[in-house]
Amino acid sequence: MTYQIKHIEHLTIKCSEPLSGMYKLSPFVWEEKGWYKILLRAVNPSQDPKQKVARIYYGTSRDGLTFKMSDTPVIIPGTNVYDKDGCEDPTLVFADDQYFIYYSGWNQTEEVGQLLLSKGSSIETLKLAGVAIPSQKGYRNPKEATVYQLPNKEWVLWFEYADDDRSKLGIAESSSVSGPWKIIGEYMQPGNEWDNYHLSAGPIVKNGNEGSVMFYNGANEKAHWRIGWVEMDGDGNVTNRSTSPLITPTKPKKDETDIAFAASALMEHNEIWLYYSVADSKVMRAIITIDK
């Protein structure tokens, strides 16, 4: 397959304080009963890491571009050690009449992240269900989950983790959407000049009868993140991979990070709507055409 950018648009986020004054990133968008819905990570604009506490807001849209956000977050830092200093990077799966939200919990005191799971019968009634993948030797600070059910009904969870001073792309499997998850190991190796150092999981969409494509995130040693793609067969094995980035951010301003980072994707009208963040502060949508 060939993937081409048709056009790129800024999301419009309609919101009140305090969300209006926060950085907005990691837009997870899904379609439900004629509505487009979003979970959005919001961060205080502070130079002090102790004040940059992330939380997750919810919003709705008719066109997938302009979202009206909730006044209060739906996932907030708790009193436990797992997410007391931040809730980051949500991924949603709807199954068995339940919403399953995987997200990263952050403990600033210990500088440790855990991949957590919240679930509920509605977005407004989510409750922490526990740690999905803990930080552990060889797989420190797991985050950025992508959850997908293969044609054989097995569930797969890709995630980013820290090891050897790099961000690596790991894979775990389970017979259930809620786990428990068995870590299989590293999924994919660094590749070309633009993604030769760091890798992170990105959104996945079905691509053909049994195949799929993931829009993954890759970076060089300077942590200049870009978005590429990798195709998989029905068992989740890599069959093809981009040699150059699909999305590269515009030249950052002096106070911005040089980052484009994919968060979610939808197949709409034979095109892919890819939602991503730029410079950890702006949220975008790319319309991608597919040519065989």
User: Which CATH number do you get for residue 133?
Assistant: 2.115.10.20
- pLDDT level of residue 77 (50, 70, 90 thresholds): very high
For residues 104 and 98, give the distance between their C-alpha atoms in angstroms, rounded to a whole number. Answer: 20
Range of weakest confidence among 40-54, 138-152, 169-183, 267-281: 40-54
> Which has the closest alpha carbon to 204: 141, 145, 289, 161?
145
Whether omega for the bond prior to residue 151 falls within 30 degrees of 0, making it cis, is: no
Q: Can you give the pLDDT at residue 45?
A: 87
Domain of residue 215, residue span: 2-291
Q: Is 33 exposed, middle or buried (0-12, 13-18, 19+ CB in 10 A)?
A: exposed
For the CA atoms of 51, 52, 54, 59, the dihedral, rounded to the nearest 10 degrees, stands at: 100
pLDDT tens, 82-99? 999 999 999 999 999 999
User: Structurally, how many domains does the chain consist of?
Assistant: 1
Predicted confidence (pLDDT) per residue in 264-288, tens digit: 999 998 999 999 999 988 999 999 9
DSSP codes, 69-123:
EPSS-SB---SSSSSTT-EEEEEEEEETTEEEEEEEEEETTTTEEEEEEEEESSG
Query: Residue 190 class from Cβ within 10 Å (0-12 exposed, 13-18 middle, 19+ buried)?
Result: middle
Mean pLDDT of the chain: 95
Give residue-wise pLDDT tens across range 182-230. Answer: 999 999 999 999 999 999 999 999 987 789 999 999 999 999 999 999 9
Beta carbons of 231 and 237 less than 8 angstroms apart: no
**Paired tokens of 84:** 């007391």
pTM: 0.96
Confidence of residue 100 (pLDDT cuts 50, 70, 90): very high
Which two tokens mark 224? Answer: 């200049």
Give whole-number Cα distances, 168 to 15, 47, 140, 210, 260, in Å: 35, 27, 10, 26, 17
Residues 78 and 65: beta-carbon distance below 8 Å:
no
The separation between CA 69 and the C-alpha centre of its own chain, rounded to angstroms, equals: 19
Confidence (pLDDT) at 14: 98
Selection from 79, 87, 82, 33 nearest residue 56 by Cα? 87
**Residue 217 identity:** N
CB 69 within 8 A of CB 13: yes
Q: Quick check: 28 and 39 in contact, CB under 8 A?
A: yes
Sign of the four-CA dihedral 232, 233, 238, 239: negative
